[in-house]
Structure 1
Amino acid sequence: MISVDEHLAGILGAVRALPPLELALLEAAGGVLAEPVEAPVALPPFDNSAMDGYAVVAADVAGASADAPVTLPVIGDIAAGDAGVTALRPGLTARIMTGAAMPAGADAVIPVEWTDGGTATVRITRPCPPGHYIRRSGEDVVAGQVVVAEGARLGAAQLGMLAAVGRSHVRVRPRPRVVVLSTGAELREPGAKLAPGQIWDSNSFMLTAAVEEAGAKGYRQATVGDEPEEVRATLLDQLGRADAIVTTGGVSMGARDVVKEVFAEARPGEASTVAFGKVAMRPGKPQGFGLLEGVPIFTLPGNPVSAYVSFQVFVRPALRAMQGLPPEPLPTVTAVLAEDVRSPAGLRHFLRARLSYERGHYGVAPAESQGSHQLQSLSSADSLIVLPEDAEDVPAGSQVEVMRLPS
């Protein structure tokens, strides 16, 4: 057996970051920015009103009160995008809308709620200091400032920022396209009737969703049976649309472990480095990985929990690397163990668990069911206790490392 760290290192040494593409903003959503983006102008580009109200000279309303309001002539309206009123003399005011440019000479905005809302003249009942409710040019972003850094994942806020500085296209590393394939003659589509010995396929749905959680684009492929040629043909057919392929099942030591059979012998003209072995972990000991025609192939175990844990430990960091991001594991915290646990010597053990937080400290309680086929305890877990290879009997009250699962 090789260690978890050795297997992961082999994977990360083989995968490569996807080349950047120039994409329109919405097409770039979810991608990783491959260039720093600077603001060509200040934001806001001009002083503007933060409220619907009246542009004034603050000195004109210094004595305003409810008992002694100040009345000013209204010389016009200034809407957002309107340059009709460009200057204002003392003793005058103009109605102004949120986002509209401040006229020269005005140094404050009186909100409409402090007035009678007049259109020819307006009564103002409260004073204000200079600068009141004015958004100053450059108070958000100054010209030349990096507004989105290289390596940032482009979510809604980042796309909004890019649009705000006038970018219609950006260079990004796109989300890797990952095809997920479950193998096994016993598998049926959810909703289909089951014959004796058959089960509904859960792995491909679970792992396709995990691919999306990891920032990639998941494509679920219909299940295939236990015929090596059918599996081989399906894998080769998917290479044209896949940046990576994830399979589950058929990688252990059984007589019908079809994925291992597919890669047992290299075909003439077929470039494959896919190899199989055992990793010192529980769950998820049988693993395979390699490149098929340059495309990474992750062959995960068939038991649902084994497949899921293997994905988080090995596939997720690789997908981050393919996006030009640090291949970091899921975030971890240190927590106090709520009960005694046992762990097999020599294996890194991942136990389904639930975290709690009280008085500044984390606690963690392992799930009652830890079988690699028991999906219910995974679906209700929010974390994995990670016990090192040298841990065997770990008493309650011990501090343990806990990997937080995606919410």
Structure 2
Amino acid sequence: MVTAQRLPASLTPLDATLAAILRDLAPVEPIELPPGEALRCIAAEMPALRTYPPHDVAVCDGWAMLANDLVGASSYAPLALAALPVWVEPGAAMPDGTDCVVDADAVDTSGPLPQVLAEAIPGQGVRRAGSDIATGRSVIAAGEPLLPRGLLLARAAGLELLRVRRPRLRIVNIANGELTAQLIADTARLAGAAVDCTDAAPDAVAIAEALDTVDGDLIVTIGGTGVGRTDAAVEALAAQGTLIAHGIALQPGRTTAVGRIDATPVVALPGAPDQAFAAWWGIALPVLDRLSGRRPRATLALPLERKIASGVGIAEVVLLTRQHSSWSVLAIAELSLDAIALAEGLLIAPGGTEGFAAGTVVDAYMLRE
């Protein structure tokens, strides 16, 4: 006879859960990746870049000249030249002794001697050495995610490898369908993790075997954390490692569990997308950010358009959208898929409060860049 598991009589506070799972957890060792594979990874310490461009370059087609030599030149008082100046195109190095690019029609080449018909100023049509990348500039500060703008700098500087931290996340999907697993996998990749997924039958032995074979910096199981007859993820975690807490004071997501297998943190997420999403942001993502060495995530402080009522003792996930320079509430505790898709900000109302009054300025995590 199969015995259904039960949640503890009291739920573990979210902050206590986080403190326990993060204890003694250090960032993973940096690896080196080419820029094409480093997108979204978290930067480790980067070398100082060389000046770029390394010398003055032309930014338009024209004649390379020295501006001081052209003072007073005009169509009424052409300046005759002893020889035709050097023609340059965008990206070409400026010849020695030149500091500007003169338009093609500003030099008359029809006569026996070329004539300049207009003045120029120093730097006209020129990109100065170091104007794109100054000496000593880094690609990006350590702890920040590498975005396309940073990779542009890396490629311009000629870097072939970048030092990054990319934790290995192993997802064990417990016969729960693909919707929640894909949500978590996609979200984790956006956070800079290398993700690998495997499936396991909703049986404690099968789940334990899956946990025994996966190798990563963070293990996330999906499904099997509730009180149903086939919810065996927590039993398997306890058998393979140490169960730290099952039943978290977080809504939605109260059936979440956390533990460790040897030194590897394990977060057992509920199978429902809204509950997994909430527990991911409340517990799993802070663990991943610690492993990545990521700096604190960006928040946006805005006043609340209306009051948020929250139950004492339970941390509640609130989804927000911006309306007229304030946060408008989309959903509290019960999160529809539509609200998850539309939300611009996420706030976790602490369990020690009864919510926030209208007009209170709150810091919400940004769900969109």
TM-score by length of 2: 0.83
- Paired residue for 2:55? 46
Distance in 1 (alpha carbons) for counterparts of 2:344 and 2:138 = 36
- Paired residue for 1:353? 320
Q: Is the contact between residue 337 and residue 399 of structure 1 (CA under 8 Å) also seen in structure 2?
A: no
- Paired residue for 1:215? 192
User: Equivalent residues in 2 for 1:160-309 (5 A)?
Assistant: 160-173=152-165, 175-184=166-175, 187-188=176-177, 201-222=178-199, 224-239=200-215, 242-266=216-240, 272-309=241-278
Distance in 2 (alpha carbons) for counterparts of 1:341 and 1:59 = 67
Distance in 1 (alpha carbons) for counterparts of 2:96 and 2:334 = 73
AA partner of residue 307 (structure 1): A
Q: Is the contact between residue 287 and residue 301 of structure 1 (CA under 8 Å) also seen in structure 2?
A: yes
Query: Does 2:301 correspond to 1:333?
Result: yes
- Paired residue for 1:98? 90
Distance in 2 (alpha carbons) for counterparts of 1:232 and 1:55 = 72
AA partner of residue 289 (structure 1): V
- Paired residue for 2:286? 317
Shift of 1:395: 5.5
Distance in 1 (alpha carbons) for counterparts of 2:70 and 2:186 = 60
Count of equivalent residues: 359
- Paired residue for 1:7? 17
User: Equivalent residues in 2 for 1:62-211 (5 A)?
Assistant: 62-66=71-75, 69-70=78-79, 72=81, 75=84, 93-112=85-104, 114-115=106-107, 124-146=116-138, 148-173=140-165, 175-184=166-175, 187-188=176-177, 201-211=178-188
Q: Is the contact between residue 386 and residue 401 of structure 1 (CA under 8 Å) also seen in structure 2?
A: no
For the residue of structure 2 that corresponds to 1:274, the secondary structure is: strand
- Paired residue for 1:32? 42
The Cα offsets for residues 193-214 of structure 1, whole Å up to 9 and x where unpaired, read as xxxxxxxx42111111111222
AA partner of residue 202 (structure 1): L
Unaligned 5+ segments in structure 1 are: 76-92, 189-200, 267-271
Pick closer, same or farther for the CA change 1:9–1:332 going to 2, 3 Å. farther
AA partner of residue 207 (structure 1): I
Distance in 2 (alpha carbons) for counterparts of 1:405 and 1:179 = 23
The Cα offsets for residues 374-393 of structure 1, whole Å up to 9 and x where unpaired, read as 43332333333443334447
AA partner of residue 42 (structure 2): V
AA partner of residue 233 (structure 1): E
Shift of 1:253: 3.3
Q: Is the contact between residue 317 and residue 333 of structure 2 (CA under 8 Å) also seen in structure 1?
A: no
- Paired residue for 1:84? none
Shift of 1:402: 3.6
Q: Is the contact between residue 226 and residue 256 of structure 1 (CA under 8 Å) also seen in structure 2?
A: yes
- Paired residue for 1:343? 310
For the residue of structure 2 that corresponds to 1:263, the secondary structure is: helix
RMSD: 3.1
Distance in 2 (alpha carbons) for counterparts of 1:215 and 1:99 = 34
AA partner of residue 171 (structure 2): V
Shift of 1:66: 4.5
Distance in 2 (alpha carbons) for counterparts of 1:120 and 1:205 = 73
Pick closer, same or farther for the CA change 1:206–1:33 going to 2, 3 Å. closer
Distance in 2 (alpha carbons) for counterparts of 1:144 and 1:380 = 41
Q: Is the contact between residue 349 and residue 355 of structure 2 (CA under 8 Å) also seen in structure 1?
A: no
- Paired residue for 2:30? 20
Shift of 1:406: 3.7
Unaligned 5+ segments in structure 2 are: 1-10
Q: Is the contact between residue 247 and residue 254 of structure 2 (CA under 8 Å) also seen in structure 1?
A: yes
For the residue of structure 1 that corresponds to 2:118, the secondary structure is: coil
Pick closer, same or farther for the CA change 1:120–1:131 going to 2, 3 Å. farther
For the residue of structure 1 that corresponds to 2:239, the secondary structure is: coil
Query: Does 2:352 correspond to 1:378?
Result: no
Q: Is the contact between residue 37 and residue 150 of structure 1 (CA under 8 Å) also seen in structure 2?
A: no
Which structure is higher in RCO with an 8 Å CA cutoff and minimum separation 6? 2
AA partner of residue 344 (structure 2): D
- Paired residue for 2:5? none
For the residue of structure 1 that corresponds to 2:253, the secondary structure is: coil
AA partner of residue 274 (structure 2): V
AA partner of residue 177 (structure 1): R
Distance in 2 (alpha carbons) for counterparts of 1:351 and 1:180 = 26
Q: Is the contact between residue 303 and residue 359 of structure 2 (CA under 8 Å) also seen in structure 1?
A: no
Q: Is the contact between residue 28 and residue 172 of structure 1 (CA under 8 Å) also seen in structure 2?
A: yes
AA partner of residue 338 (structure 2): Q
Pick closer, same or farther for the CA change 1:406–1:236 going to 2, 3 Å. farther
Pick closer, same or farther for the CA change 1:4–1:371 going to 2, 3 Å. same
The Cα offsets for residues 20-43 of structure 1, whole Å up to 9 and x where unpaired, read as 22344434443333333123x533
Shift of 1:332: 4.2
AA partner of residue 198 (structure 2): Q
